Amino acid sequence: MAERRAFAQKISRTVAAEVRKQIAGQYGGSPQLFKNLNVGAATSNTVPLTEAVEPVDFEEYLITHPPIVESGPLRDLIEFPPDDIEVIYTPRECRTVVQAVPEEGDTDPHVRDCVRSYTEDWAVVNRKYHKLGTGFNPNTLDKQKERQKGLPKQVFEADEMPDNSSYQDDQDDLKRRSMSIDDTPRGSWACSIFDLKNSLPDALLPHLLDRAPNEEIDRHNEDQRKSNRHRELFALHPALDEEEPIERHCVPEVPKEHFGQRLLVKCLSLKFEIEIEPIFASLALYDVKEKKKISENFFFDLNSEQTKGMLRPHIQTAAISTLARSAIFSITYPSQDVFLVIKLEKVLQQGDIGECAEPYMVFKESDAAKNKEKLEKLRGQSEQFCQRLGRYRMPFAWTAIHLMNIVNSAGSLERDTELEMSLSERKGSWSERRNSSIMGRRSLERTTSGDESCSLTGFRPATLTITNFFKQEGDRLSDEDLYKFLADMRRPSSVLRRLRPITAQLKLDISPAPENPHYCLTPDLLQVKPYPDSRVRPTREILEFPARDVYVPNTTYRNLLYVNPQSLNFANRQGSARNITVKVQFMNGEDPNNAMPVIFGKSSCADFAKEAYTAVVYHNRTKMFVPMRNEGPSVNFLNSLEAILVGLL
């Protein structure tokens, strides 16, 4: 046997299979690693291709296999830096004078902890080395848009697609002019397209043949490259698509209360041809395309003190919050299909809506002296109904404003404007006013045609004057009927032509809401900072019902319950079932005296009431109701909600 050489004696005789077994045992039997180490090896412990392979748990591996305590250049890659996480407590900003939390009582500890989450300071976790990780991408979409601001738009010849007909005419004309040249030899390349005699020479390049040193040319070229150069030129290009997408975690902002685009509506005056009784009004936003009501009701009272005195037996001392005449509406998804709907109600009286509205359509303000006796008789009847049925309301009239038409019309003017929404002069005939309305609506539709952005933040304030209302139809009180009417307002049809108008004059101010309005109340009647004086007539924030979901955390405690009776049909019932209303109460027990004052007041009344009534239509057996709003102190009382039918007259 030949003697082994010296360097060969140090070579290990270990078989490759033994090496693989040893490594597989040291690394905890990881399936993925075991598969990689056994590629090409004839062994029975292979992983089937049909089974999903679990990835290696890096944190668990570090716990089970602690790194060797040695100092080295790659040690920082294994250990987590101890100063990576920093927790900062940021004070929570409260926009109201008083915290919007329930009163403390004998509540469950879990409930108290949930309520405390609305008042405690924010715990912000900052990661010092977050930018060094693979999950951090500095080129976000917002930064890309910010970088692209101010860049000139480049238009190339390939982007401009010429009209085929005009392009062909130009080519034919050019050929005809070229072929008319007699001294051009037939068949040459110049006779087909180019007219060399009529063409203009190219501009000469200045200093092209001047002698200049190379260093000067390089410096000049470098200065030209740096002039108007973007500071982040390479960052303007979007990131390339990755072969294996990485989950990137963005640092979230501190949560805050969600608001859409805010609109301020001020109700200035409401005047009819005759003044014989109190009229009550409300505002709300509707989305025709989504067929949804996107805001709660805002009730306001513009009656004179003398007229409101007719309801003195039924009205307590009016709270300052119910005297508001301006409201802030929030619209998260503004569109061309949003309407501001104005509804009018009056005290219930004997007779259907048409009979009650007839005096407003017949008598004129100019004939008040001539019809003095008739008007006095009507006032006397109204006083009797107010004393007897002052707590009950009946639908009277309505109108709607195409919101984006007003915004676009006001935004196109250079100063504050007054828009006349009347159909014509008030003394004109109804047919003349109707024709003028159709032309006005068509002109407004032309201003909003196209893909214009629906923005409610940049238009100028406008004063709106509405001089006609539609008489409410007793059998068309549902929201579905309202959506049909609103759709017809955008394309005038015979449906609106059949509705008789009620001449009135309502003045509104519409403007973008200021950022920090004074004397403002939240939907929960909490005062918003700043609120210098509690005796000043406030502005109400109207709660929004978004047409689509808004994915934001709830940062403000709000405990509201909206009761919306839909319909009630007694047409097939034997006996008398007319003049139906629904009384809604929030009960804290079985006794009738246990009704709780948690229902929001409408206008010129107390802040909260113990009961609320739906509107009544005289002698109507099929009833459509108007939604109401109330506030409950606790969800435990929801099972005690009762609706009581009340017969009138």
- The string of DSSP codes covering 223-290 is HHHHTT--TTTGGGSPPPPPSS-------PPPP-----EEEEEEEEEEEESS--S-EEEEEEEEETTT
For 346-362, b/e burial (b = at least 16 CB within 10 A) is bbbbeeebeebbebbee
Percent of the chain surpassing pLDDT 70: 67
* pLDDT bracket for residue 332 (50, 70, 90): very high
Q: Is the pLDDT of residue 111 over 70?
A: yes
Tokens representing 182?
């007699």
Compute φ and ψ for 57, nearest 5 degrees.
-80, 105
Q: Judge contact between 57 and 28, C-beta under 8 A.
A: no
pLDDT of residue 297: 94
SS3 label, residue 431 = helix
Q: Among 38-52, 119-133, 370-384, whose mean pLDDT is lowest?
A: 38-52
pLDDT of residue 267: 95
pLDDT of residue 32: 52
pLDDT of residue 156: 75
pLDDT tens digits, 516-530: 899 999 999 999 999
The greatest distance separating any two alpha carbons of the chain, rounded to the nearest whole angstrom, comes to 144
pLDDT of residue 63: 76
Other residues' Cβ atoms within 10 Å of the Cβ of residue 373:
8
**Which residues, 6+ apart, have CB-to-CB distance to 596 below 8 Å?**
585, 586, 587, 588, 610, 633, 637
Q: Is the pLDDT of residue 174 over 60?
A: no
* pLDDT bracket for residue 567 (50, 70, 90): confident
Tokens representing 470?
């539609």
Q: Distances in Å between the alpha carbon of 92 and those of 25, 95, 527, 610?
A: 54, 10, 17, 35
Position 288: which residue type?
Answer: V
pLDDT tens digits, 116-137: 888 899 998 888 887 777 666 6
pLDDT of residue 9: 61
Q: Is the pLDDT of residue 36 over 90?
A: no
Which of 78-92, 449-463, 478-492, 523-537 is the most confident on average?
Answer: 523-537
* pLDDT bracket for residue 646 (50, 70, 90): very low
Looking at residues 438-464, what average pLDDT do you find?
57
Tokens representing 462?
């406008």
Q: 465 versus 53: which is more confidently predicted?
A: 465
Tokens representing 126?
């900052």
pLDDT of residue 327: 96
pLDDT of residue 454: 75
The span from the CA of 54 to the CA of 52, in Å, is 6
The span from the CA of 424 to the CA of 431, in Å, is 10
Radius of gyration of the chain (CA): 39
Tokens representing 406?
């007003």
Size of the chain in residues: 649
- In the Cβ-directed half-sphere of 109, how many Cα atoms lie within 13 Å? 0
Q: Among 145-154, 216-225, 420-429, whose mean pLDDT is lowest?
A: 420-429
pTM over 0.75: no
SS3 content of the chain, % helix, strand, coil (to 5): 30, 20, 50
Q: Is the pLDDT of residue 382 over 70?
A: yes
pLDDT of residue 494: 59
pLDDT tens digits, 252-278: 788 889 999 999 999 999 999 888 899
Q: Judge contact between 542 and 562, C-beta under 8 A.
A: no
Q: Judge contact between 398 and 344, C-beta under 8 A.
A: yes
The span from the CA of 251 to the CA of 56, in Å, is 27
Residue 584 forms beta bridges with which residues? 612, 643
Closest CA to 633 of 557, 565, 540: 557
